[in-house]
Structure 1
Amino acid sequence: MDIQALKFFRAVAELGSISKAAKELNYAQSNLTAKIQQLETELQTTLFYRHNRGTSLTDKGKVLLSYTDEIFNLFDEVRNVMSDEQTPKGPLVIGSMETTAAIRLPVLLSKFHREYAAVDLSLKTGPTEQNVQGVLQYELDGAFVAGPIEHPDLTYKTFIEEELVLVTDALHQPLSTIKELQKRTILVFRNGCSYRARFEEWIHHEGVMPEKIMEFGTLDGIIGCVSAGLGISLLPRSVVEKHVKEGLLIQHSIPNQFGKVKTLFVYRNDKYMSSSLREFIEMLSKERELVIS
């Protein structure tokens, strides 16, 4: 099978147009058309529906696209294996929940950067669901997510167990019953956040329907709005501890079945592990031992 034909096929599939793909790849449109027709002849199937808006994948085309992604990922992995001299260097992309990135990772990332300066380390924050998909789609080398996580293509290591607490503004009186939250606005991260899912699970279990749910994109945004009295939120104790001590927030314990969550580091188990990722996991394990002890 012609690798260049697969490259052309993937470009057309992603852009939805042969002309757009030709422009993107800087090839003549006739070359792309001929290569795709050659591919369809070889596979004895139609890969695209042609219409006046461009192209769209047939069912068989969708199947080929999934295999094409795997094929090119394998090529990338072969290049990585061949260029890996067992000395950590090159790109290392780590994903993380924003709360973990803000409180748990600065020391770890700083230490790794000092010891392995040749590694181009980058951090991308997002909710657990987004991070898991990033690892599965080879966009992230690994990610810090909230457990539990079960997937046949993923390996995980427990990083730390967090205690979740309900936080309100400093003027809010101690809660005598969860029913008091009925008329409060819930402040959360967008869908896919494990803390939001745990919050909703708890209040639904208690039969509480919040008056309003507001989504935020940043941790600072949630904490600032809670302290201003806009609403309430569920966050790790380690995240709000400083603000509680400063008198900006009040924290309230919640039932253990909803208040404990493990932060895991996940990575693919079917992918060659670069020396950079291997050293990062090793350092992560040592830091965890120090936290536990």
Structure 2
Amino acid sequence: MDLTDLRVFRTVVEAGGVTRASQRLHRVQSNVTTRIKKLEEDLGVALFEREGKRMRLTSAGTTLVSFADEMLTLAERARDAVQEKTPHGLLRLGAMESTAAVRLPGPLTALHGRYPDLNVELRTGASRPLIQQVLSGELDAALVAGAVSDPRLETLPTFHERLVIVANASHPPIARAADVKTRAILAFRAGCHYRQRIEDWFQRDGVPIERIVEVASYHAILGCAAAGMGVALTPQSVLDAYTERAQLSVHELDPEMRDVLTLLVWRKDVSRVKIMALADLLGPSTVAAEVRLEPVAEESRAS
């Protein structure tokens, strides 16, 4: 079996068809189809049942998936073992907005100083979309929140975050969701782990959320909270860097809701050299560079 054929096979399975697989692999559809047929001929079995443009895995195809993952992972590890160990080229990294703003400046500066031939392309987003981008190969690795159980991914704990509820400075104490005066939450788009956690907090107390105001940055979230537009769930590390903290009230959560671990995730079957270069500089003891979040402009607070 050819490793390239196995990669094409696995991509077709993950993408759900030849058309999307060809886009991910940057190959013409006929080449992808030829590779699948060649693999089937080599194995002497049909891997897909074809119904028009639809393709479904046969029992043999289902069996091959796990073996393909293991073989491709082993091949990448063998490549890492024999190739030069100095990281270079491009590392496509995803991170949550809070992690990128507060946790990464120090490690990325150190990474550049240690490996000047390694360039980092940083993309921010919510945890769920970032994980999907790692799985599809759009990102080499990502820093995400919450548990990750996909067997195709490796994970490494990096940062421990303590979450707090923030509201405007005059808001009375908040011990549970029922204490929130304005039943609006300020959050990123769906797919954000912190947004899901505050939604679960309201639901656990049986308190309906009147509306969700979606914003694009923590600058805007904290500014809108200060203006009394709603409440938000934010890492303490982000709040500590905010220069207008006096305009906010901070409310503690119970341990079940407040503690969250940030994980570095990457595919098991990709080269680890560049990822491990970054991983060596991450962790609970990492001291991030001093970052101050400036107050949001008035027009952002009103948005």
**Other-structure match for 1:215:** 214
Alignment-derived partner of residue 104 in structure 2: 105
CA contact (8 A) 1:92 1:141 kept: yes
Q: CA 1:69–1:110 in structure 2 vs 1: closer, same or farther (change >3 Å)?
A: same
Tell me, yes or no, if structure 1 residue 273 matches structure 2 residue 272. yes
- Please identify the structure whose Cα radius of gyration is greater: 1
8 Å contact 1:244–1:251 — kept in the other structure? no
What's the C-alpha RMSD, in Å, of the aligned pairs?
4.0
- 2:50 maps to which residue? 49
The Cα of 1:101 is off from its aligned counterpart by 0.8
2:297 maps to none
Q: Deviation at 1:10?
A: 6.9
Counterpart Cα distance in 1 of 2:119 and 2:173: 47
Relative distance call for 1:127 and 1:48 in structure 2 (3 A) is same
- What does 1:122-271 align with in structure 2 at a 5 Å threshold? 122-135=121-134, 140-149=139-148, 154-159=154-159, 161-170=160-169, 172-175=170-173, 178=176, 179-181=178-180, 183-243=182-242, 245=244, 247-267=246-266
C-alpha distance in 2 between matches for 1:277 and 1:154: 11
Report what 1:115 is aligned to.
114
**Residue 118 of structure 1, CA deviation:** 0.4
Q: Secondary structure at the match of 2:262?
A: strand
Q: Structure 1 pair 91/75, CA: closer, same or farther in 2 (3 Å)? A: farther
Q: CA deviation at 1:100?
A: 1.0
Tell me what 2:85 maps to.
86
Within 2, Cα distance between the matches of 1:263 and 1:143? 10
Gaps of 5+ in 1: none
Q: 1:235 Cα deviation (Å)?
A: 0.4
1:35 & 1:258 partners in 2: Cα distance?
A: 48
Q: Given the two structures, how large is their TM-score scaled by the length of structure 1?
A: 0.72
Distance between the aligned counterparts of 1:225 and 1:68, measured in 2?
49
Tell me how far apart the structure 2 counterparts of residues 10 and 277 of structure 1 sit (CA, whole Å). Answer: 22
TM-score (norm 2): 0.70
How many residues align? The count is 280
> Cα gap change, 1:98/1:176 in structure 2, threshold over 3 Å: closer, same or farther?
closer
| Segment of structure 1 superposing worse, 40-49 or 191-200 | 40-49
Counterpart in 1 of 2:95?
A: 96
Deviation track 1:19-44 (CA, whole Å, cap 9, x = no partner) reads x969x7469x5x87666555445533
Q: Render the CA deviation track for 1:149-177: whole Å, top value 9, x for unaligned.
A: 56665342343x3222212234x432366
Q: In structure 2, what is the Cα distance between the partners aligned to 1:34 and 1:191?
A: 39
Kindly tell me: are residues 129 and 110 of structure 1, through their superposed partners in 2, closer, same or farther at Cα, counting changes over 3 Å?
same
* 1:102-128 deviation line (CA, Å, top 9, x unaligned): 111112212211221101222232323
What corresponds to 2:299 in structure 1?
none
- DSSP-derived class of the 1:213 partner: strand
